[in-house]
Amino acid sequence: MTTRKISLLVAGLIFPLVLGAQYTDFDLSKYKLPDIKLNRLDASFNMVNSGNSHLSQTKFDTSKVKHNNLDGRLNLGYYYFRNTEKYQGNLSTIADIHPLLYYVKTDNNDNRNTSSDINFMINSINRFYNRNLFFLEVDPLVSYYSDRSKNRVENSTTTENTDHQVSTDLSASVSVGYGRIEPVEDLRLAIYILEELQKAGRIESVPPEDIIIEMAREISRIKKKRFFDTRLRKIEELHVVDSFLIANNIISSNDIIYFAVLNDNWDYAAGPARETGFRVNAGIGNDIEFYRFNVKNTVNGTVVADYKNYSNDYNVSGFINAEYAKPLNLYWQTAAGITTSYGIHFIRNPLDKENGMDNYETNAFETAINGLVQYLPNSRTTIGLGLTGTYNYSYTVKTLTALDPDGYWMKSSYFYIIPSFDMYYYVSPRLRVSFVALLSGINSLDKVRYESVLPEEENLTKWYNHSVNLTLTYSFF
């Protein structure tokens, strides 16, 4: 009898350690996101009207002021995400309309301001894979921006100022590459759930590796499902996970403690993002931007100023990108990337094609590198170190008919580096701490050499900045 009690005691002490060790040694890189498709269409509208009236009467003066403001916004957004063995990509469409009317009336003036902003963008990333992880990537982008404003002031004279700014951008980079990066935070969430259920004594048996991976796949599928009611979404999500645990004989009891653990981890252990894999691609980037800016000023109906600024920008470049992400274990995440490009930028003024200042070319070389190390000891704590650096060198040739008939060339280079540290700590349901520290430095050098007898110019700029942001959040009730 004594021997049996000792055996049970030893088993009770060793079993949790063995179970915990199995989770600790789990390789998150084994997870592959299942076939998933997500469509989401969102719309938002808001309108604000505010106004006030002010009357001031003193011994020496009487004044009256009225203000009225009408502001509104309409936003439409569509998002599409698709992940299969042969395709990985997304489509994002945004349309935003923002009208504004502002009116101020005093004893001597009537001031009316109207403006309307329109912003539209379609952006898509598309990678088409073959069986050997080679892919073709096509990333089209279309954007349109319009800002039209008008200011009218009436007193002894009537002054009206109008301006209209329009920008249209088109691009479609094409590249070929190898490799794939997979999100694996859903697998980490599955392990968080199993770990907490183990601590609560609600685990019936240790699930094998393939069952844990399949549990993560179920989590991925239900998280990407579209719901129109967040309450129904939460019920369905927990139901899917609960059904999976029961069907695979993982839990020993589904009492209130079990459901509390499940609900808590679903709310607080789903992030941050964890990724694994390597991807490299090289290709050609191209971008076309048309910019139009018109300003007109009138006094009593007579035009006193009429200004136009037009430009057509064309950019062609070759680039190579490499990205790497690796969870070293359940608690450590690493990521790194490097991008190198060389391009030619053509700028043209369609209103004055002979102006050397507005019609020129720039050759530019740029390299950017970034790295990240994160420590995630539990589902509520994140500590990260990051480093970003960029080097850019450009060469521009211009012709100055007035200042220098022979023209000049300008060489510019800049380098900046940004180390960062961030921490998020969930102390309790009432207290949370967030800390972000950034240190940045920029070194810029411009050299201008004229073809005539004008002296050479050299401009050096050094700039350093730091920022620290500490946020404490306490919930009283």
Residue type for position 322: A
Torsion-angle region of 233 (φ positive above 0: left; ψ -120 to 50: alpha; else: beta): alpha
Cα distances (Å, whole numbers) of residue 40 to 20, 81, 271, 401: 39, 9, 21, 55
Question: pLDDT of the chain along its 477 residues, tens only?
Answer: 455 544 444 444 344 444 445 677 788 898 999 999 888 888 888 888 888 887 777 766 677 888 888 889 999 999 999 999 999 999 999 999 999 888 888 877 888 888 999 999 999 999 999 988 999 999 999 999 999 998 888 887 888 899 999 999 999 999 999 999 999 999 999 999 999 998 888 887 778 999 999 999 999 999 888 777 778 888 899 999 999 999 998 988 889 999 999 998 998 888 788 999 999 999 999 899 999 988 888 888 788 888 888 999 999 999 999 999 999 999 999 999 999 999 999 998 888 877 777 788 899 999 999 999 999 988 888 999 999 999 999 988 776 555 555 567 788 999 999 999 999 887 766 778 889 998 899 989 888 877 666 777 888 888 888 999 998 887 775
pTM over 0.85: no
* Partners of residue 68 on adjacent β-strands: 51, 103
Of 295, 308, 307, 297, the C-alpha closest to 158 is 297
